[in-house]
Amino acid sequence: MKFSVYQISRQGGRERNEDRMGYAYTRESGLFVLADGMGGHPEGAMAAQLALQTLSAYFQKAANPTVREVPEFLSSALMAAHHQIIRYAAEKGMLDTPRTTLVAAVMERGHIHWVHCGDSRLYVVRDNELLTRTRDHSYMEQQAHLGRNTEHINRNILFTCLGSPAKPVYDLSGPVQLMQGDRVLLCSDGLWGTVEDDEIVNELSTRPLEQAVPDLVETALRRGGQRCDNVTVLAMEWETVDEYQTTRVSTEDIEDGVFASTIQSGVPDPTIEDLDDAAIEKSIAEINAAIARTAAARNA
């Protein structure tokens, strides 16, 4: 398995950059993950980092050297990340939970599957055209899909994310068979908020990743001005063995059982219990009870 990869994250006009991204791979499988910690809630960067670390730990456990059931893996890993964030908030006695969006893809056996929650996006570009992209879990995108006017809707209003006191809504997509030259781009809303889809497709189609991706990021920052959101992009180009010409990432020399990752470790390997809905709901109930107690005390 061989592919080119390029990643970049730039802080915009925000106080801090709470976006996180990374990828991991074995000899025959690759995981690409991007999370955007949500402002307006505490420790968005921690939520994003926990999400990445949890997916990386699950991937390391599941990819031997491929993931047996990719959709089930993505669902389980996403819910485990949600649980890790909820548990982190409960253990710290936080009255509000850290929250993050998430988009993640697994590439193996010449196919790609992906999952997303929130408004961080995945694009697949083939032969100078947009093959597909994720649909945001936002009120604006929901109304646009129904053909309604979205001019006065705030694009930042999401109806789901990881870490909220409700079970996340997420979409699984794929598999899509990868072809030579396919480009896959994961990004935070800092990119697509100011750069149109057709511009993203054009840049990815006509220039090498190492030129197209940083230029797209610079365009987003310039258009966003002083109040620009953080802009984070992780992009990959699929290349068949026979036509492989770059030297970005090759897994041919990796031995079975070996795992490589750009994602910082720190979360213990999750256990099966981490996936239990009852445990997640218990943590949520504890946080909601703490919020209710605080509200009652203020009104007393």
Q: Which of 38-47, 125-134, 265-274 has the highest mean predicted lDDT (pLDDT)?
A: 125-134
Please give the Cα distance from 102 to 100 (Å, whole number): 7
**pLDDT (tens digit per residue) in 204-225:** 999 999 999 999 999 999 999 9
Mean pLDDT of 172-179: 97
pLDDT (0 to 100) of residue 278: 63
pLDDT (0 to 100) of residue 296: 67
| Mean pLDDT, all residues of the chain | 86
Residue 160 above 70 pLDDT? yes
Of 10-19, 79-88, 152-161, 190-199, least confident by mean pLDDT is 152-161
Residue 32 above 70 pLDDT? yes
The pTM of the whole model exceeds 0.85: yes
Residue 242 above 70 pLDDT? no
Sequence-distant (6+) residues with CB within 8 A of 218 are none
Please give the Cα distance from 208 to 218 (Å, whole number): 16
Please give the Cα distance from 231 to 237 (Å, whole number): 20
Give the model's confidence band at 145: pLDDT under 50 very low, under 70 low, under 90 confident, else very high.
low
Query: What is the token pair recorded at 202?
Result: 């054009």
Contact 279, 68 (CB under 8 A): no
Residue 291 above 70 pLDDT? no
Tell which wins on pLDDT, 61 or 248. 61
Residue 245 above 60 pLDDT? no
**pLDDT (tens digit per residue) in 52-99:** 999 999 999 999 999 999 999 999 999 999 999 999 999 999 989 999
pLDDT (0 to 100) of residue 150: 59
Residue 238 above 60 pLDDT? yes
Of 23-32, 49-58, 235-244, least confident by mean pLDDT is 235-244
Tell which wins on pLDDT, 255 or 248. 255
pLDDT (0 to 100) of residue 14: 86
Mean pLDDT of 248-263: 77
**What is the 3 state secondary structure string of 106-175?**
EEECCEEEEEEECCCEEEEEECCEEEEECCCCEHHHHHHHCCCCCCCCCCCCECCCECCCCCCCCEEEEE
Give the model's confidence band at 227: pLDDT under 50 very low, under 70 low, under 90 confident, else very high.
confident
Q: In what order do the strands lie in the sheet with 111-117?
A: 171-177, 111-117, 102-108, 29-36, 19-25, 260-261
Residue 247 above 50 pLDDT? no
DSSP string, the chain: -EEEEEEEEE--SSSS--EEEEEEE-SSEEEEEEEEBPTTSTTHHHHHHHHHHHHHHHHHHH-SSS-SSHHHHHHHHHHHHHHHHHHHHHHTT-SS---B-EEEEEEETTEEEEEEESS-EEEEEETTEEEEE---SBHHHHHHHTT---TTS-TT-BS--BTSSSPPP-EEEEEEE--TT-EEEEE-HHHHTTS-HHHHHHHHHHS-HHHHHHHHHHHHHHHHGGGPPPEEEEEEEEE-TTT----SEE-TTPPTT--EESSPP-SPPP-GGGG-HHHHHHHHHHHHHHHHHHHHHHH-
Please give the Cα distance from 284 to 89 (Å, whole number): 9
Contact 99, 41 (CB under 8 A): yes
Residue 20 above 60 pLDDT? yes
Q: How far is CA 275 from CA 94, 226, 268, 270, in A?
A: 22, 41, 14, 9
Mean pLDDT of 137-161: 72
**pLDDT (tens digit per residue) in 265-289:** 665 444 434 445 565 566 566 666 6
Tell which wins on pLDDT, 266 or 264. 264
